[in-house]
Structure 1
Amino acid sequence: MLLHHHSSILQRLMLASSLRFRRFKYQYHYQCYCSCTNPSQAPVAFTAKTVCNESLLFRYLTKGWHHEARNLLLQSFSAGDLHARVVRWTSLLTNYTRKGHVFEARMLFDVMPHRNIVTCNAMLSGYLQSGMLDEARWFFESMPERNVVSWTAMLGGYADAGRVEDARRVFDVMPERNVVSWNAMVGGLVRNGDLEGARMVFEQTPCRNVVSWNVMIAGYAENGAMDEARALFDQMEFRNVITWTSMISGYCRAGNVEAAYGLFRTMPEKNVVSWTAMIGGFAWNGFYEEALLLFLQMSLSDSKPNGEETFISLAYACAGLSFPYLGRQLHAQLIVNGWKLDDYDGRLRRSLVRMYSVFGLMDYASNVLEGNLNNFDDQSLNSMINGYVQAGQLEKAQELFDTVPIRNKIAWTCMISGYLSAGQVFKACDLFDSMPDRDSIAWTSMISGYVQNELIAEAISLFGEMMAHGFSPLNGTFAVLFGAMGSVAYLDQGRQLHGMQVKTIYEYDLILENSLVSMYAKCGEIDDSYRIFSNMAYRDKISWNSMIMGLSDHGRASEALTVYETMLEFGLYPDTVTFLGVLTACAHAGLVNKGWELFNSMVNSYGLQPGFDHYISIINLLGRAGKVKDAEEFVLRLPVEPNHAIWGALVGVCGLSKTDADVASRATKRLLELDPLNAPGHVALCNIYAANDRHIEVTSLRKEMRIKGVRKAPGCSWILVKGRVHVFSSGDRLEPHVEDILLQI
């Protein structure tokens, strides 16, 4: 056994040595060929070796040595009959065109001793595949013989180049058509957006096959005409996996994921493309969890994931769910399976960069790009900058922004928004002023940043500047400004903006309408708010909550509760904001029993966890009804430790009746333990003591306030006149201000 083992090793070593020698010998002779300046000096010892001859042939063709190339063809491909040789030459020509060597392919065509119609069609296809349409047309017209393949190739070339009329002319004069020709005409019209013309040709096709139906269905699906696609789909007698997948992709593209998944479940046969289409449809429409679960189901089937398309969708889903551990496992799986080899267009790399940027794992995102600026395409740059901004690493975002040679509008806008979110308004302004090519999105981001930083007058002024520079406001621009007008109750400015919006933008969207409902409610025009709400074609939970809160704040409790009941009838489940609105309405109207019923429903029926705001609403509900001691008992039974806002609310309701001095004293004590300098608590307790003729306690408490330095913040009012905000505080001498304002009006 041992002798046999050594003998086997020796044989393998001898074989390897022989192979190395032959490889060296071929390399030597190839170098001799390449070093020849005169083809007649080229050695001919190994002309029977096909690999070497093909390399030498390519060199002859590149140099334009026709005679030598022709002789080499005759010498190297002498085996077999004439037909076999023509087949080999045609195969070599096709290989050249596929690799982009069209010039060498044409030279080979010219020096071929013999050709046939297949050779001519191969050369014609080579021109068309390389986009050389004029050369293809000249070659086509000079062909001594043309068959249906030639005509169909020319038709497809014109259609691919967008020259539909030329394609039609070729189609009309074709001496012979087959089903491939008809399908090529239908497909060409579909690709150029002429669905009506494609349908006419489709209906005229004398003998349609499954490809004919698939081309027409895919055309409808890709253009969002799913009703027409479904009608054809239902008419088909025989469908294949391509038919089903086209329909699934079309429904997903149109946002009808339910219909897509219904087809996916019933399709008789699935392949990796079908699974990937459905996974991608879930992911791109926001059904991230469903995308991941379907991938797990795919893993248990016979289909193996597509290294690019499948994992791009999965990376998007992991980012949407904020599952960093799962995202890293996905990346590890890709590395194990050699994902870099499949990522020929960089889409997979971009999806991973975006995923890690959403997670805030910026070191991982940078590692995917390998720190190479050449890998920073626009999408990766935007993802990285946005990731740094969201992670609060503005310095690194600025460093990357300054490093890359070319920055697009999205990168500029992202940096501006980042500084505004961090309250660094001056840096944002500097960037905005330096931005070379602003668009409406950049202007809107700047306006929104001003509003976020409570610079309302500056936001309005910038909006005027935006209009003066000729930029059309977006729906989002108006939505931001409507929100700003509502926050400071600038009704006149809000009405003017609304009038401008009506003249500028004719199509409402949900965010814009919600902002209008909220603005008019906050500005005191609850009827206008309800009118806009009633006319909305579609309402989401924000719409209902805004209306309920608006009616509640205006003391219209019965109407707020009616809107709440209507919301339930429409099948929408309330959230914590909804219950805050209805509880506040009950508190304003003194509906104690209804308030308790809603509070219990929130916890028991909908499983929602109350927050401090809900507890405060119940305290106000009981206190306004004169049940202060019940409110104190409610606070003492809370499942969480009461904070200063809870105790402050209890002190506040004690001040309503001014008779529960003991409760107020206990609540104020707990309040001041948490917030010793709380001025409203001191003042409320003083008022309660005074109302109960406990003047000694009042004097003592006021003395304590002076010692602590507790002072009640003065109330203030403001008015906007010609873009300038005038603020008036309690105790101001108003005469000079009034004179200035009157002069401006």
Structure 2
Amino acid sequence: MLMFPLARPPGRRYADAALRGGQWRLSHHLRATATGGGGAPDVFDAMPALDDRMRCSALLREHAAGGDHYGCTSLLRWMLARGLRPNRLALAAAVKSSSALPDCRGGAALGRCLHGLAVKVGYADGAVVAKAVMDMYGRIGSLADAHMVFDEMSCSDASMPTAVTVAVVLPVCAKLRVLRAGRSIHGYVIKTGLEFDTLSGNALVSMYAKCGGSIAMDDAHLAFSTICCKDVVSWNSIIAGYSENGLFEEALALFGQMISEECLPNYSTLANVLPFCSLVEYGRHYGKEIHGFVVRHGLEMDISVSNALMAHYSKVCEMRAVESIFRSSKMGDIITWNTVIAGYVMNRYPSRALKLFQGLLFTGMAPDSVSLISLLTACAQVGNLRVGIRVHGYIFRHPELLQETSLMNALVSFYSQCDRFDAAFRSFITIQNKDSVSWNAILSACANSEHHIEQFFRLLGEMWHDVTQWDSVTILNIIRMSTFCGIKMVRESHGYSLRVGYTGDSSVANAILDAYAKCGYLHDAETLFRSLAVRNIVTDNTMISCYLKNNCVEDAEMTFNHMAEKDLTTWNLMSRLYAQNDLCDQAFCLFHQLQSEGLNPDTISITNILLACIHLSSVQLVKQCHGYMLRASLEDIHLEAALLDAYSKCGNIANAYNLFQVSPHKDLVIFTAMIGAYAMHGMAEKAVELFSKMLTLDIKPDHVVLTALLSACSHAGLVDAGIKIFKSIREIYGVEPTEEHCACMVDLLARSGRLQDAYNFALDMPPHVVNANAWGSLLGACKVHGEVKIGQLAADRLFSMEAEDIGNYVIMSNIFAADDKWESVEHVRKLMKSKDMKKPAGCSWIEVEKTRHLFVASDVQHQDRFSIYDVLGSLYQQIRGTQGGTAHFVVTYEL
């Protein structure tokens, strides 16, 4: 159960009530009692007069110092209503409290009124009140009024601005990013000789740094260099300035200079430096050096420093260091927990993130929006819809969280990644203050499927007229959706990107490349790739991905070999290309090569290698991949499903089932893999039983698991059960039948000998869902059952759909031959010859003692061929001795 902080203690509520009623003595006593006596001592209890001016002024300052700004301003109103004038210090405290009140409580208006009161009673020329007024105007964003007060101080001999005054007004300029006003004050500082003062110098450095830009940073460095006695704040200001402006190398150099000048960094310094260590070259090394410095100087117990260290190690993928720091620290705060949870999510350890979140709840701390955003991301990574829905309910039970736009955006993205568009859309419409991220999140949800094209463009128009114009992320969503609309829409998206100047954005250019490849227009993708003035590693990877989609191995290899820099994604793309084109040796060679380059294989790397293992039917290699996954602690539900699928396709259904049993997150993906495994092994009853169990867990089936279930029925000959499941696809589960469903139904009917029913079924279905696989299944069944007429009808369809597939011609030729239709056989052979078709040589392989042996028809190249043939001959001699006959031996020997 999630725990939350309690409401305000009753003592404080009673104190506030007494305060509103004007009972100051009672309010003060109740407040001290509510804080356990930890408040300021009631030194005024002995004073007889409640309305004494000095007493009320001191009490007013006490409220302001304790953060009770509403009580402070209420007391001031009570004093003024009774003719009691606060002293200068009390009025300055009231001005500061007014700036802390929200606008709904009239904080800005009250501050201006108090400024008027200060002028009226003659306090405005005092330095204390003037500084408070300037600070108040800065907080409410009124630079002109703050500057006016500063100018009035400059003209008064009694209250000439000091270094403290400069340090008060310059942050106002920084907050509003008004560089011109800051330069004006800088001029005053130079004229009055305050530029060498440490306090005013630090304020100038901070102001220039926060205003941003290369020119401002030059001025910041100049102001920094003029400070005579630089303290740690001086160094922190200039380092923070460079890091905030993206000049990380310069900031790191200044940090080194700071240490060389024997100025000891403090907590703030380290919290500034660590976040950008991961962004510079050798950042991992610098981070470890800073960690050593922290340990040597005993700074590791500071929460802000330990949090910064853990965030750094998370960014450089060293979660063991994060865990070590987390264990050695004390309980920490919510930021500590959020840092570690976010680190797990960032490094794709979602199960650990979910477990640690439970630990956070056990501490009694209430999760904030940052915690829940990380939790939703972890749920999306493992496809844990159930926990995500609980988080959704939790958010709606606490209305303050509904105000967090970033959290609601994360909720939309979670449902989008779980393929729950309706839930994503309902979450989107509840967002009260939609920003561009909100709109892009729901557009991304639409772009996941071709079924939401109309809704996508409607939302796109609403976004244009609502809060913001389209940004690069919006353009990426448009390009993704355009792939469902065809090449014309892709080219229009490309043209729009050119007109608005987004093609310079590498992510947009990469998306256009990918869209052309998905539409099959590889030439357009290559033309765009060559025309790009600036290409980076992501662009090269995208082009390899285009070649991958079109199985262009040689072109991909050429791009790969010409790349100056390669990352893990590059190696994974090439490994996938080799694996899916049955080039298993190259895939394994590449896998070893990437490790020799110092890269650690990730979940995608192992998934690619598993595909190669499946092609080789090597259970031993699959086990090696499984072992690596365990040693590297790779957690990914899709990788688990791929491993389960690999075991089943290599014939080891027992290991596949064991993997299913120990999986901590049994979602749709893992159920689909196990049902598919049962289908492949002809265990239809177990597949149907597991499907029923999945439904009891409220897991909604999709078209993939339904395809696996139909396949199971087809392999086991469960015709009636298969027909029942097919009818339920649309009626019960609301899924439109796909090409795969139709192919399974044709195969189911044809395998059982109901060839006419299978043919009629294919004719009755819409043409776009009856593909070559369906007609191929029917043709294969016609060969088994010796059905010439229907077989010829199916073959005619296949010859038009797959004109270059030699297998269809061979099957039809065999059907004619079995029926003694030799003229038809000759006709098919002539068609094959006219298309220059040649049947590829058959091959087989076997793995013995971790060595794979390949045999091709009529092959005489194997080094042990003579021994093999001798053993084979001996076996058949024994067979002939028991059964007789040599013809069988001769035919097999040739094979």
Residue identity matched to 1:513: E
Which of residues 811, 826, 847 in structure 2 aligns to 1:706? 826
Aligned equivalent of 1:418: 546
CA drift at 1:217: 9.0
Tell me, in whole angstroms, the C-alpha distance in 2 between the residues paired with 1:407 and 1:353.
19
Aligned equivalent of 1:547: 674
CA drift at 1:671: 3.5
Which of residues 109, 121, 138 in structure 1 aligns to 2:189? 109
- Identify if the C-alpha distance between structure 1 residues 114 and 105 changes in structure 2 by more than 3 Å, giving closer, same or farther: closer
- Identify if the C-alpha distance between structure 1 residues 588 and 289 changes in structure 2 by more than 3 Å, giving closer, same or farther: closer
Tell me, in whole angstroms, the C-alpha distance in 2 between the residues paired with 1:593 and 1:261.
41
Aligned equivalent of 1:274: 404
Aligned equivalent of 1:53: none
Structure 2 matches for 1:106-505, cutoff 5 A? 108-109=188-189, 111-112=191-192, 124-128=202-206, 130=209, 138=229, 160=272, 226-227=357-358, 245=369, 249=373, 251-252=375-376, 255=379, 257-268=388-399, 274-283=404-413, 286=416, 290-298=423-431, 305-306=434-435, 308-314=436-442, 316-317=444-445, 319-320=447-448, 339=468, 349-360=471-482, 361=490, 363-364=492-493, 367-368=496-497, 376-402=504-530, 404=532, 406-487=534-615, 489-491=616-618, 494-495=621-622, 497-498=624-625, 501=628, 505=632
CA drift at 1:445: 0.7
- Identify if the C-alpha distance between structure 1 residues 352 and 628 changes in structure 2 by more than 3 Å, giving closer, same or farther: closer
Residue identity matched to 1:704: S
Q: Is the 8 A contact 1:648 1:667 kept in 2?
A: no
CA drift at 1:435: 0.9
Structure 2 matches for 1:458-607, cutoff 5 A? 458-487=586-615, 489-491=616-618, 494-495=621-622, 497-498=624-625, 501=628, 505-602=632-729, 604-607=731-734
Q: Is the 8 A contact 2:783 2:815 kept in 1?
A: yes
Tell me, in whole angstroms, the C-alpha distance in 1 between the residues paired with 2:663 and 2:232.
62
Tell me, in whole angstroms, the C-alpha distance in 1 between the residues paired with 2:455 and 2:774.
41
Tell me, in whole angstroms, the C-alpha distance in 1 between the residues paired with 2:722 and 2:599.
49
CA drift at 1:718: 1.6
Tell me, in whole angstroms, the C-alpha distance in 2 between the residues paired with 1:324 and 1:633.
34
- Residue deviations 1:183-229 (CA, integer Å, cap 9, x gap): xx876775565889997798xxxxxxxxxxx9889878877765576
Answering whether residue 684 of structure 2 is matched by residue 684 of structure 1, we say no
Tell me, in whole angstroms, the C-alpha distance in 2 between the residues paired with 1:114 and 1:636.
90
Q: Is the 8 A contact 2:742 2:762 kept in 1?
A: no
Which of residues 713, 718, 723 in structure 1 aligns to 2:843? 718
Q: Is the 8 A contact 1:230 1:247 kept in 2?
A: no
Tell me, in whole angstroms, the C-alpha distance in 2 between the residues paired with 1:286 and 1:330.
15
CA drift at 1:85: 6.7
- Residue deviations 1:607-646 (CA, integer Å, cap 9, x gap): 4455566566556656666x64884796499455788866
Residue identity matched to 1:423: N
- Residue deviations 1:623-672 (CA, integer Å, cap 9, x gap): 666x64884796499455788866775675566566xxxxx354245345
Report the secondary structure of 1:507's partner residue: coil
Q: Is the 8 A contact 1:485 1:519 kept in 2?
A: yes
CA drift at 1:416: 1.3
Tell me, in whole angstroms, the C-alpha distance in 1 between the residues paired with 2:566 and 2:853.
29
Tell me, in whole angstroms, the C-alpha distance in 2 between the residues paired with 1:324 and 1:94.
49
**TM-score of the two chains, using structure 1 as the length reference:** 0.62
CA drift at 1:390: 3.9
Q: Is the 8 A contact 1:486 1:519 kept in 2?
A: yes
Aligned equivalent of 2:790: 667
Tell me, in whole angstroms, the C-alpha distance in 2 between the residues paired with 1:614 and 1:142.
69
- Identify if the C-alpha distance between structure 1 residues 388 and 726 changes in structure 2 by more than 3 Å, giving closer, same or farther: same
Residue identity matched to 2:189: F
**Which stretch of the first structure deviates more once superposed, 246-255 or 349-358?**
246-255
Report the secondary structure of 2:699's partner residue: coil
Q: Is the 8 A contact 2:409 2:437 kept in 1?
A: no
Report the secondary structure of 1:432's partner residue: helix
Report the secondary structure of 1:423's partner residue: coil
- Identify if the C-alpha distance between structure 1 residues 106 and 171 changes in structure 2 by more than 3 Å, giving closer, same or farther: farther
Answering whether residue 856 of structure 2 is matched by residue 728 of structure 1, we say yes
Q: Is the 8 A contact 1:450 1:456 kept in 2?
A: yes
CA drift at 1:446: 0.6
Unaligned runs of 5+ in 2: 1-148, 210-219, 235-265, 275-289, 311-324, 344-352, 380-386, 483-489, 800-807, 833-837, 870-895
- Identify if the C-alpha distance between structure 1 residues 219 and 476 changes in structure 2 by more than 3 Å, giving closer, same or farther: closer
Tell me, in whole angstroms, the C-alpha distance in 1 between the residues paired with 2:675 and 2:401.
49
Q: Is the 8 A contact 2:647 2:656 kept in 1?
A: yes
Tell me, in whole angstroms, the C-alpha distance in 2 between the residues paired with 1:715 and 1:111.
91
- Residue deviations 1:402-430 (CA, integer Å, cap 9, x gap): 45555332222111121232233222111
Q: Is the 8 A contact 1:315 1:327 kept in 2?
A: yes
- Residue deviations 1:313-348 (CA, integer Å, cap 9, x gap): 4554454466666666666666667957xxxxxxx7
- Residue deviations 1:155-191 (CA, integer Å, cap 9, x gap): 86775456999999x999xxxxxxxxxxxx8767755
Report the secondary structure of 2:555's partner residue: helix
- Identify if the C-alpha distance between structure 1 residues 592 and 216 changes in structure 2 by more than 3 Å, giving closer, same or farther: closer
Report the secondary structure of 2:416's partner residue: coil
**Which stretch of the first structure deviates more once superposed, 278-287 or 321-330?**
321-330
Report the secondary structure of 1:286's partner residue: helix
Report the secondary structure of 2:471's partner residue: helix
- Identify if the C-alpha distance between structure 1 residues 560 and 188 changes in structure 2 by more than 3 Å, giving closer, same or farther: closer
- Identify if the C-alpha distance between structure 1 residues 319 and 128 changes in structure 2 by more than 3 Å, giving closer, same or farther: same
Structure 2 matches for 1:21-32, cutoff 5 A? none
Residue identity matched to 1:108: Y
Tell me, in whole angstroms, the C-alpha distance in 2 between the residues paired with 1:104 and 1:231.
55
Unaligned runs of 5+ in 1: 1-72, 144-153, 173-184, 203-213, 236-242, 341-347, 659-663, 690-697
Tell me, in whole angstroms, the C-alpha distance in 1 between the residues paired with 2:730 and 2:232.
81
**Which stretch of the first structure deviates more once superposed, 417-426 or 593-602?**
593-602
- Identify if the C-alpha distance between structure 1 residues 725 and 327 changes in structure 2 by more than 3 Å, giving closer, same or farther: farther
**TM-score of the two chains, using structure 2 as the length reference:** 0.53
Number of aligned pairs?
595
- Residue deviations 1:252-307 (CA, integer Å, cap 9, x gap): 45546435433442344578x62353134422663665455444444xxxx5544x
Q: Is the 8 A contact 1:93 1:123 kept in 2?
A: no
Tell me, in whole angstroms, the C-alpha distance in 1 between the residues paired with 2:184 and 2:462.
43
Q: Is the 8 A contact 2:444 2:477 kept in 1?
A: yes
Report the secondary structure of 2:564's partner residue: coil
- Identify if the C-alpha distance between structure 1 residues 711 and 414 changes in structure 2 by more than 3 Å, giving closer, same or farther: same
Residue identity matched to 1:429: E
- Residue deviations 1:527-573 (CA, integer Å, cap 9, x gap): 34334344433344443344334333334444444444444444434
- Identify if the C-alpha distance between structure 1 residues 84 and 297 changes in structure 2 by more than 3 Å, giving closer, same or farther: farther
Q: Is the 8 A contact 1:721 1:741 kept in 2?
A: no
